[in-house]
Amino acid sequence: MKDGLALHGQRHRQTVTLAQYIKRRNGVPAGSSGSLRNMLHRSLGAGTFAGFWQYWNPVFGYYLGRYVDSPLRRVLPRAPALVVTFILCGALHDLVTMAVRGSVAFLFTPWFFLLGVGVVLGRSVRMDFSSRPWVARAGINLSYILACLVVTLIARRFFSIP
């Protein structure tokens, strides 16, 4: 399994429960002591950008994989399905933000688009930094996320997007 979203994408595989998915991702059952620590350690220390998302927020990843990515992969190739999944995830985050703010705001949709493109590009060039120390991997993953955020903020300002 290259990423968390692929877990449900193939018909010949048995669908796992949310509890099984979380335990597989975090190494401990949901709500267990150390669950958050494991998620952060595994995601930040992942050797690829796709690996980061495999471990990040397993609850959200489970539902995105099951109800967004898997159906999309029935009609789209893997890479576009993954990018659309990231876009829809960002749109959900934006909808929550708009509901809380009471005004239009688009930050997460373009940011998550860039994150998804980064995952696809990282896979296509077989980018793998798993041989580096954990601190270096965490720095690379955080830099990638922050770089995508900065590009998004600059683009929003340039295009006058709320």
pLDDT, tens digit, for every residue of 63-111? Answer: 999 999 999 999 999 999 999 999 999 999 999 999 999 999 899 999 9
User: Whole-prediction pTM value?
Assistant: 0.87
Q: What six digits make up the tokens of 146?
A: 């922050």
Mean pLDDT (whole number) for 108-125:
97
- Residue 133: what pLDDT? 98
Distance from C-alpha of 13 to C-alpha of 95, rounded to nearest angstrom:
33
| Each residue's pLDDT tens digit, 17-62 | 999 999 999 999 988 998 999 999 999 999 999 999 999 999 999 9
Confidence bin at 125 (pLDDT 50/70/90) = very high
Give me the DSSP letters along 105-141.
--SHHHHHHHHHHHHHHHHHTT---TTS-HHHHHHHH
* Contact (Cβ atoms closer than 8 angstroms) between residue 23 and residue 29: yes
Confidence bin at 13 (pLDDT 50/70/90) = low
- Residue 3: what pLDDT? 43
Residues 6+ apart with CB under 8 A from 35: 22, 26, 28, 29
